[in-house]
Structure 1
Amino acid sequence: MIGFIVTGCYDSLARVWKAAGESTHILEGHSDVIASVGVINRKGVEGITVATASKDRTLRLWKFDTEDSINNPIRIRAFKILRGHTKSVQCVAAQNTGDMVCSGSWDSTIKLWQTNDSQSDGDLVSIKKRKGNDQADESQLEGEAVSTLVGHTQCVSSVVWPQQETIYSASWDHSVRLWDAETSKNSSDIFCTKVLNCLMLEVKVLLSLQLVVLIPFLGYGILINQELLLRSFSSCLTLPGFRLASGMTNLGFI
């Protein structure tokens, strides 16, 4: 079941939609095209956290509650701005734990960022928030990259972070690269003949079960100690009776 949909647009706004097509939130603050959006599933954090990547060379992190009872879309600002890329940010992906995101840019680099809302990895900056005809000061957290992955020679067009220590990236330099997130090292490459625009993985997840679990709405029968091949459902799905031995990849709607 689809809970909500997030879109990024050339009007520099991201929007949250109900499955029925009603816009519930407008995420404003970027000054250029939003090229990519990603949902972050952070343990112990209420509400929804979303990351957006923009041609204004920044990423922004947002929090909202999809259960808000509203008649009109709520306009919200990011709780954190991530700065460091020197050119347009093309893509963003969240770590399976939700503690970090990675981004790919036209500057040929991949950067890793913390998603928390504390000041331990950033500074509070003052911005102007319009209230009627007046301007009021508002504080917003600004964060810097934890690390930078260097190796691609052209735009990084797509990133996927399926496991805590592993990042995959695709680039206009015709390569798919595998990275160790802990050491920032490029461990292996696949070279293609043309520009790469997107990347998707099939992720095998080992489930540890006490009982046989049947999930009819997904079309899977899951057996004890067997591997389940996940193709297109989200990491936010949790069911009683089993735990994940390795993370799921958010490949679809929430």
Structure 2
Amino acid sequence: MAVQVEVRFVTKRRQFAVPDTPFTVPSNVGSRELNSLINELLKGRDPDKHCREVDFDFLVCGEVLRVPLSDHLEEHSISSEVTVDVEYFERVPAPEPRDCLLHDDWVSAVQVKNGWILSGCYDNTLHLWTTKGKHQLTIPGHTGPIKAVTWVTHNDTLVTFVSASHDQTAMLWEWNVSTNAVECIHVCRGHERALECVGVSSCQSRMATGGWDTHLKIWSAGKSYFAQTPLMTLKGHKEAISAVQWTDSSEICTASWDHTLRLWDAEIGGIKTEIVGNKSFFDASWSPLNGLLITASADKHIRLYDPRSTEGSLVKSTFTSHTQWVQSVRWSTTEDHQFVSGSYDQQVKLWDSRSPKAPLFDLKGHDGKVLCCDWSEPELIVSGGSDNTLRIFQSKQHK
């Protein structure tokens, strides 16, 4: 006979609340049995309102339950003799494959905003698409593969965006939506080797670039006061800078092949914080929703860092599922526990940061290495790869 455990069910969604009196359940129950129990309790409380079964996930000791409850408690050194709080929440619906946009070469950069998709390609071209999959424009200009793109300003008639390339330049573009005409309004020159990344500040007045010359450069992003030279050059990394992101108007986060993450002061220059890892970082994504960093590495793992942590390990979780090196990671912009990753194993994976042992979903479709991914718009997950395609997945969010 299985050992019994006393559990108390809690939820943040009032419409799914059940009595908070403890229940006794077998210690070997899993999420499927707990799901059935919660649905039975909801039907008993209000049969008409809860005629439809709801899929729930369960959080115990801060981690999503993926194994029998007894194993989970043992892993977290929790006695089965105490009352265990079990938080439950609606399970994330599976994203659905929607479109496959064909390019003439590897798709190595992508970002979505306000109904438009901007992609960068290894044939040196940029592409504009609608989120419905219609090709809007091919933009030549670079003389090397494009490794990063990002939108700068966006309104109904005039849009600016920036691209960074192996040709050692970043180019600022202005697109007139009504005439569908685009022009390069500035070329940022100053890097001595190929660029890998570009990021724009939240106030849209400055941008930062990094690449194989190991230098982080800050530029003005305002059309009317562009200078021919960077506002600032910050030195310190010893190998290529693979990712750059503004965490606020005066702080920049970078990731590098030199095994370090750095936070920089963008006002006075200099390093504020250095986090040392054990492998090269190929990408990093910082979330304004939770203040946490996720990183992509050659050892097939994704790691979650808390740069504000003052005690214990800065690595708070390690996510293991990819079978080859992870090239790209991106936080959701609306869900503070969710992110996506893209890998050389041809897989895009959707994760919950509270479930490090397994992703929520594998998003299949690519026939080659996944080189970039983006989740800037809540309803769309996009990814590009060495199969010359840009894949669009429809992400369903709970209301």
Secondary structure of 1:199's partner?
strand
- Decide which of 1, 9, 13 is 2:125's aligned counterpart: 13
- Per-residue deviation, 1:149: 1.0
Please tell me the residue identity of whatever aligns with 2:332.
Answer: S
Gaps of 5+ in 1: 123-142, 206-230, 235-249
Q: Distance in 2 between matches of 1:251 and 1:113?
A: 25
Determine the C-alpha separation between the residues in 1 that align with 2:375 and 2:231. Answer: 25
The aligned runs of 1:145-160 (5 Å cut-off) are 145-160=230-245
Deviation for aligned residue 1:23: 1.5
Q: Are 1:201 and 2:278 matched, yes or no?
A: no
TM-score, normalisation: structure 1: 0.68
RMSD of aligned Cα (Å): 2.4
Alpha-carbon distance between aligned partners in 1 of 2:164 and 2:147, rounded to the nearest angstrom:
6
1:187 aligns to 2:293 (yes or no): no
Q: How many residues align?
A: 187
Name 1:86's counterpart in structure 2. 192
Query: Where in structure 1 do 4 or more consecutive aligned residues deviate above 2 Å?
Result: 74-77, 231-234
CA deviations on 1:76-130 (whole Å, 9 max, x unpaired) are 3311110000000100000000001101110001100111222x443xxxxxxxx
TM-score by length of 2: 0.44
Counterparts of 1:155 and 1:75, CA distance in 2? 34
Structure 2 spans left out of the alignment, 5+ residues: 1-112, 291-330, 335-373, 379-399
Stretch of structure 1 that moved more, 24-33 or 166-175: 24-33
Larger helix share, 1 or 2: 2
Indicate conservation of the 8 Å contact 1:26/1:75, yes or no: no
Aligned equivalent of 2:23: none
Rounded Cα–Cα distance in structure 1 between residues aligned with 2:175 and 2:226 = 22
The answer (yes or no) to whether the contact 1:4–1:253 under 8 Å persists in 2 is no
Aligned to 1:55, which of 163, 166, 188?
A: 166
Q: Distance in 2 between matches of 1:65 and 1:76?
A: 6
| C-alpha contact 2:176 2:182 (8 A) present in aligned 1 | no
Match of 1:252 in 2: 376
Q: 1:232 maps to which residue?
A: 332
Native 8 Å contact 2:175 2:183 kept in 1:
no
Aligned to 1:212: none
Which structure has the larger Rg over C-alpha atoms? 2
Partner of residue 34, structure 1: 146
**Conserved in 2, the CA contact under 8 Å of 1:102 and 1:112?**
yes
1:58-207 alignment, distance < 5 Å: 58-66=169-177, 68=178, 74=180, 76-118=182-224, 120-122=225-227, 143-204=228-289
